[in-house]
C-alpha cells in the first residue's frame, strides 16, 4: 500500500515559531503613526493589542520565538495536522505532479485560524486582560477566537459583518455555543458603526468597518484588547507551525516542494505554510515557487498598488506599507468571505515586491469547480477560501501534465466547508457568478490610499 498520510508525534510539534522578518534581505518598511508619520514602536500598539504580540509584530531580530508551554499544550489537542499525498486527486487530474496537502481543516473549529487564536488569547490572559474583541467576516476567525477565549477564561465580543451574520447563521451559532457575544456590524454600539448607518441605513457591512467597531470597543472598555485573525505580522508568525510541521512531514515523504500554494485573504495561512520553506530560498538559494491564490473579485496582489494604507475602513489602524486596493474598496459578495480584504500583510507585501513569491487570481466559479473535484476525489469538502488554493493547484498540475513534468506541489487546505454548504448549493443551482472589476474601479478605490501617500 502507498503511504498517504504523514503524521508527526506530539513531541515533534514545533517548540518555536519562525520569524521570517529576521531573515528578509529587505526588511518591511516601517509602520507609521497616521497623525505624526512617526515610526511605530511596540509601545504604540499596547493600547490596542496585548504586549507580547505588539513586540512580535515589530521584531526584525529574532529568527525563532518560543511557543509558550500553555499554547503548545493547546496545540496538542489537534496538532500536528496530517500531511496527505492526494493520490486520488492526482489521478482525477491525470497529472504526473505529486500533490500534497496540509490538512488544517481538522482543527476543532475547522480551520487554521485556531493556531493564532490560542496564542493571542493566551498572551492576553497572561497580561491580566479580561475581555477581548474582534471582527469576523465569514465567521471562521470569530469561531476560533471564541473557543480560545473560552479556554483561557476571557469574555469575547465579536462584530460580525452583517451580510455574513444574515447569510451564515451557523457560524454565529458556533460563536454563541462557545459563549461569545456576537453583534452584526455596522451596529449602533460604536461611533464608527453609527456614522456608517447614518450615511446608509441599509449598509451590509464589511471587514473594514467591523474592524473599526471592534477596535473602538477595545479602546473604550477597561482591561480589553483587540485581536486580529490575519494580516498582522504576529498572526502570520503564529501560523508558521503549519509549515514547520509540513517541512518535517515532506522529509518523511522523502520529497521537497517545487511549489507551495495557499489561498490569500490577508495572508496568514499563506505565510504559515510558506515561510518555513521560503527561508531555504532566502538563506540557501533553493528555488521553490510560492503562489498566493487570491479571488479575482479582490485582487490586491495581482492588481493592487504597493503603498501606505489603513488596515480598516474608518482609519483607526496605523499606516501599513502594503499591496492594497484602497481601504475604501468594497469587494463583491463572493462566497469566500475570508478572502474579501482590501490589503495584504506587510511582510508578504515586501516579499512580493522582492520577487520571493507570486500571485494568481482565481474566479469564483473556477474555485468551486476545483473544490468539487477535490471533494469527489479526496472526500473532504473544502472551505470556499481553500477552493482558491485548490484551483491554483489544478492550474499548475495541468501545466505539469502538458509539459510531462513530475513536479512536487504542496498546498494548504486552510479549512473545511461543512458550514458553507449554502454556497455549494448556489454553485450547483447555477446562481453563482464571476466578478471582474475594471481598472477604473480599482483606480477609484485606490484614491483612498493614494491621498495618504502624498
Ligand atoms: C480566514 C480564512 C482564510 C483567509 O485568511 P488568510 O489570513 O489569508 O489565511 C482562508 N481560509 C480559511 C478557511 C479561512 O478561515
Domain boundaries, the chain: 4-12+78-110+234-453, 114-228
Residue with cell 508527526: 8
Of the candidate CATH numbers 3.20.20.70, 3.40.50.300, 3.90.1150.10, 3.40.50.1100, the domain formed by 114-228 belongs to 3.40.50.1100
Extract the C-alpha cell encoding 173: 451559532
Q: For Cα atoms 108, 113, 115, give the angle at the middle one, nearest 5 degrees.
A: 80
Tell me the best of 101, 102, 230, 274 to mutate to test the pocket of ligand 1, counting ligand atoms within 8 Å of each CB and taking the most.
230
pTM as predicted: 0.96
Looking at residue 341, its pLDDT comes to 86
Query: Cis peptide leading into 80, omega within 30 of 0?
Result: yes
Indicate the average pLDDT of the chain.
Answer: 95
Q: Are 335 and 420 in contact (CB under 8 A)?
A: yes
Instruction: Using the atom order of ligand 1, give the atom closest to the CA of residue 113.
Output: 15
**Distance of CA 242 from the midpoint of ligand 1 (Å):** 13
**Distance of CA 63 from the midpoint of ligand 1 (Å):** 24
Q: Are 203 and 161 in contact (CB under 8 A)?
A: no
Looking at residue 356, its pLDDT comes to 98
Instruction: Using the atom order of ligand 1, give the atom closest to the CA of residue 415.
Output: 13
Q: Which residue has the higher pLDDT, 325 or 167?
A: 325
Q: Which residue, by CA, sits nearest to atom 1 of ligand 1?
A: 338
Is there a common fold for 4-12+78-110+234-453 and 114-228? yes
Say how far apart CA 105 and CA 213 lie, in whole Å. Answer: 29
Q: Are 360 and 395 in contact (CB under 8 A)?
A: yes
Residue 357 pLDDT greater than 90, yes or no? yes
**Distance of CA 389 from the midpoint of ligand 1 (Å):** 11
The H or E element spanning position 66 is strand 64-66
Instruction: Using the atom order of ligand 1, give the atom closest to the CA of residue 264.
Output: 8
How would you classify the pairing of strands 64-66 and 16-18?
Answer: antiparallel
The domain at 4-12+78-110+234-453 falls in which architecture?
3-Layer(aba) Sandwich (3.40)
For ligand 1, residues with CB inside 6 Å are 111, 113, 140-141, 230, 263-270, 338-339, 383, 385-386, 414-415
Q: Which residue, by CA, sits nearest to atom 10 of ligand 1?
A: 385
Say how far apart CA 25 and CA 434 lie, in whole Å. Answer: 38
Query: Cis peptide leading into 373, omega within 30 of 0?
Result: no
Tell me the β-bridge partners of 102: 83, 412
Q: What average pLDDT score do residues 206-220 get?
A: 90
Instruction: Using the atom order of ligand 1, give the atom closest to the CA of residue 110.
Output: 13
Looking at residue 312, its pLDDT comes to 83
pLDDT tens digits for range 179-196 = 999 999 999 999 999 999
Q: Are 123 and 102 in contact (CB under 8 A)?
A: no
Query: Cis peptide leading into 196, omega within 30 of 0?
Result: no
**Distance of CA 259 from the midpoint of ligand 1 (Å):** 19
Looking at residue 335, its pLDDT comes to 80
Q: What average pLDDT score do residues 352-379 get?
A: 98
Tell me the best of 207, 295, 339 to mutate to test the pocket of ligand 1, counting ligand atoms within 8 Å of each CB and taking the most.
339
How would you classify the pairing of strands 319-324 and 305-310?
Answer: antiparallel
Q: Are 134 and 142 in contact (CB under 8 A)?
A: yes
Residue 101 pLDDT greater than 90, yes or no? yes
Amino acid at each position: 500500500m502507498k503511504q498517504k498520510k504523514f503524521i508527526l508525534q506530539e513531541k515533534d510539534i514545533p517548540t518555536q515559531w519562525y520569524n521570517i522578518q529576521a531573515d528578509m534581505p529587505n526588511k518591511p518598511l516601517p509602520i507609521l503613526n497616521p497623525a505624526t508619520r512617526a515610526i511605530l514602536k511596540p509601545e504604540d500598539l499596547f493600547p490596542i493589542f496585548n504586549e507580547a504580540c505588539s513586540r512580535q509584530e515589530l521584531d526584525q531580530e529574532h529568527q525563532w520565538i518560543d511557543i509558550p508551554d500553555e499554547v503548545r499544550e493547546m496545540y496538542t489537542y489537534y496538532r500536528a495536522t496530517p500531511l496527505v499525498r492526494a493520490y486520488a486527486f492526482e489521478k482525477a487530474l491525470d497529472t504526473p505532479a505529486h500533490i500534497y496537502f496540509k490538512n488544517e481543516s481538522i482543527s476543532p473549529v475547522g480551520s487554521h485560524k485556531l493556531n493564532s487564536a490560542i496564542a493571542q488569547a493566551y498572551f492576553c490572559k497572561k497580561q491580566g486582560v479580561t475581555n477581548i474583541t474582534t471582527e469576523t467576516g465569514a465567521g471562521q476567525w470569530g469561531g476560533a477566537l471564541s473557543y480560545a477565549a473560552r479556554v483561557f477564561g476571557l469574555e469575547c465580543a465579536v462584530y460580525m459583518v452583517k451580510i455574513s451574520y444574515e447569510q451564515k447563521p451557523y457560524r454565529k451559532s458556533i460563536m454563541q455555543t462557545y459563549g461569545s457575544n456576537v453583534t452584526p456590524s455596522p451596529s449602533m454600539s460604536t461611533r464608527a458603526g453609527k456614522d456608517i448607518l447614518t450615511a446608509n441605513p441599509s449598509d451590509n457591512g464589511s471587514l473594514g468597518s467591523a474592524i473599526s467597531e471592534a477596535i473602538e470597543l477595545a479602546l473604550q472598555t477597561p482591561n480589553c484588547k483587540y485581536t486580529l485573525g490575519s494580516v498582522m505580522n504576529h498572526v502570520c508568525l503564529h501560523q508558521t507551525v503549519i509549515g514547520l510541521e509540513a517541512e518535517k512531514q515532506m522529509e518523511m515523504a522523502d520529497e521537497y516542494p517545487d511549489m507551495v500554494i495557499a489561498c490569500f485573504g490577508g495572508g496568514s495561512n499563506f505565510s504559515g505554510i510558506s515561510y518555513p520553506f521560503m527561508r531555504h530560498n532566502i538563506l540557501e538559494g533553493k528555488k521553490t515557487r510560492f503562489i498566493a491564490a487570491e479571488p479575482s473579485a479582490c485582487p490586491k496582489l495581482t492588481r493592487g498598488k504597493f503603498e501606505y494604507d489603513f488596515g480598516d475602513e474608518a482609519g483607526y489602524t496605523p499606516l501599513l506599507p502594503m499591496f492594497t486596493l484602497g481601504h475604501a474598496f468594497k469587494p463583491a459578495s463572493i462566497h469566500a468571505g475570508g478572502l474579501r480584504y482590501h490589503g495584504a500583510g506587510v511582510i508578504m507585501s515586501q516579499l512580493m515586491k522582492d520577487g520571493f513569491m507570486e500571485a494568481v487570481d482565481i474566479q469564483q466559479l473556477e474555485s468551486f469547480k476545483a473544490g468539487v473535484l477535490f471533494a469527489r476525489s479526496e472526500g473532504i469538502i473544502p472551505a470556499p477560501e481553500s477552493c482558491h488554493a485548490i484551483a491554483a493547484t489544478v492550474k499548475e498540475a495541468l501545466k505539469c501534465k502538458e509539459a510531462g513534468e513530475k513536479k512536487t506541489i504542496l498546498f494548504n487546505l486552510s479549512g473545511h466547508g461543512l458550514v458553507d454548504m449554502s454556497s455549494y448549493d448556489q454553485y450547483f443551482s447555477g446562481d453563482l457568478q464571476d466578478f471582474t472589476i475594471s481598472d477604473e474601479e480599482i483606480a477609484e478605490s485606490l484614491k483612498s490610499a493614494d491621498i495618504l501617500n502624498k
